[in-house]
Structure 1
Amino acid sequence: MPVIDAAFFPLIVTNRPTEYPYAAPPAGTDMSALRLRPASEVRSGDLVLGSYDGPVSPSKLGTANQSAAAFTALPLPMHGAICLDGETPYWERDEPIMVIPREYRPTTPYAVGDRVERTILFTPPQPVMNRYTAGEAVAVIQRGTVTAVDDNSIAVQWLGDWLNSDDPGTGMRRVDPARIDRERTRTGFAVGDYATMPGRTSTGVVLEQWPRWLDGRPMVRVWWPADHPSDNDRGSHGLYLAHRIEHAVPAAPAA
């Protein structure tokens, strides 16, 4: 076979997708560090690129087709599966996952004022129509703000008060600004925003949001302070259509 010179052509990247479901790994990611791990061994802080459908043979892994938006793992076991994103019990425990291990990722130290999130198990005391079943634990995201940083620890004030919750999840991550923008575009709120309602003197905090099962209209869950406990006592944490409440202090950091 004759030897011929290889032809090389310049490649100019004009756009890097940053939002789900086409988010690319962050610029500067060392793709040569890509590894295959079962979902049960993915660690908090690993960058998940999706599941791997081929034979599990890392020594022969020549190509890696990204099957999910790149995201920082917050793994939490739930109902026999793994919530790699902290919320969705989608991945089977032995399912091969493509990751960039956290030790190979560029990192920026946390600073006071950073908005962060973690995953916890929440056990609803009462059922919420087409959302939660009473007594059945579900994975939810809880957000907070970094209040202090020293050499050995980080202090975080977590927003809201999730009743009957445990915190078996490990680690935390910065809140993706694109996700906050997407939430505000959809409902007018982001999880962690402060809100009020006509006739109330107190300010609550938005704990989560989702489309209503009946017509897709945006719902938000608000935790009100002790001077307005009625919603919280019912176990609803204040479920309202987004248009019924309004911003009090948009994007305000935790006090």
Structure 2
Amino acid sequence: MTFIPLIVANRPDESPYQQAPHGTDMTMLRIVPATDVRAGDLVLGGTSAPLNPNRLRWAMQSAAAFVALPIRMWGAVCIDGQTPFWEPDEMVMVIPREHRPADRCAVGDRVERTIVHTPPLDYMGRQPEKRLMLQRGTVTAVDDGALSIAWDGRWPNAEIPDTGIRPVDHTRVERERAATGFAVGDRVTRHNDTTTTGVVMELCRHWYDARSMARVDWPRDPHWDTRTVETSSLAHALPVAPAAPVLVSA
């Protein structure tokens, strides 16, 4: 084993920052190339340059530790399962999955996975690039560690790579709702049709004027299928429970 001198710097202190889960053994921290990050590894951040045992390097901890769902696309590594951000030889700080606190999923827990979506041909008959998306679901049964999951909605022309699953980060869900009023996986209705229920599959901004948009799966309405609509035209099918209050000691 080679000892690499390294300083972990710039730990974020803003409110969205999340420490590694309670019980994480930080002595198990390893530094590996992005291509060697495995599904289930706990990602803590990255380093400033390739490592050299004869030189001191700096590392930066991410704003939130997250469980990896790595997949290679467009010449990059999407460690979070969605964002093509990491160069293949970029060095990443991880807690190997064998040493991170185990996830104990129960019935009713929310989980997510990566899918590869092939959009339909555009109006000029061209084939857009494939896209990485996150699909959320609910655990319906647990049998000796094996999970049964009801996935939210349908993604037409979707491929499901073998990247595993991870628990949904509820802080991220609340951020989505704060920004757009909705989160991926929310059940919604249209203002002019409260009898038809759809599932939010994706949230985005309009390419022209940055309006908040949502791609919604309407499983019982074949005329709508999975279409992108303005979030202002949607309403929650069921009330969203408010976030639990944060108690601050004096």
Taking structure 2 as the reference length, the TM-score comes to 0.82
What corresponds to 2:205 in structure 1?
Answer: 211
Q: Match of 2:182, SS?
A: coil
Bigger strand fraction: 2
2: CA distance, partners of 1:141 / 1:188: 18
1: CA distance, partners of 2:14 / 2:27: 20
What corresponds to 1:92 in structure 2?
Answer: 87
What corresponds to 2:228 in structure 1?
Answer: 239
Cα 1:67/1:145, change in 2 over 3 Å: closer
Determine which of 148, 151, 165 is the counterpart of 1:158: 151
Please state if 1:179 is matched with 2:172: yes
Please state if 1:142 is matched with 2:135: yes
Please state if 1:34 is matched with 2:23: no
2: CA distance, partners of 1:60 / 1:196: 58
Please state if 1:199 is matched with 2:188: no
Q: How does 1:49-64 map to 2 (within 5 A)?
A: 49-57=44-52, 64=59
Q: Which amino acid aligns with 1:118?
A: R
- In the alignment, structure 1 segments of 5+ residues that lack a partner are 1-14
Q: Match of 1:69, SS?
A: strand
Give CA deviations for 1:110-168 in whole Å, capped at 9, x if unaligned: 1010011000110001349xxxx834211100000001101141111111110111111
| Bigger CA radius of gyration | 1
What corresponds to 1:125 in structure 2?
Answer: 120
Deviates more, 1:52-61 or 1:182-191: 52-61
Q: Match of 2:61, SS?
A: coil
RMSD of aligned Cα (Å):
2.5
Cα 1:250/1:46, change in 2 over 3 Å: farther
Q: Which amino acid aligns with 1:238?
A: R
Cα 1:247/1:225, change in 2 over 3 Å: same
Q: How does 1:94-113 map to 2 (within 5 A)?
A: 94-113=89-108
Q: How does 1:17-28 map to 2 (within 5 A)?
A: 19=16, 22-28=17-23
Percent sequence identity is 51
2: CA distance, partners of 1:79 / 1:87: 12
2: CA distance, partners of 1:199 / 1:160: 21
Deviates more, 1:217-226 or 1:172-181: 217-226
Residues 196 and 203 in structure 1, CA contact (< 8 A), matched pair in contact too: yes
Please state if 1:77 is matched with 2:106: no
* Deviation for aligned residue 1:68: 5.0
* Deviation for aligned residue 1:16: 6.9
Cα 1:71/1:59, change in 2 over 3 Å: farther
2: CA distance, partners of 1:112 / 1:60: 49
Cα 1:248/1:207, change in 2 over 3 Å: same
* Deviation for aligned residue 1:250: 4.3
Q: Match of 1:103, SS?
A: coil
Paired residue total: 227
Residues 142 and 148 in structure 2, CA contact (< 8 A), matched pair in contact too: yes
What corresponds to 1:116 in structure 2?
Answer: 111
Cα 1:151/1:225, change in 2 over 3 Å: same
Cα 1:52/1:127, change in 2 over 3 Å: farther
Q: Match of 2:204, SS?
A: strand
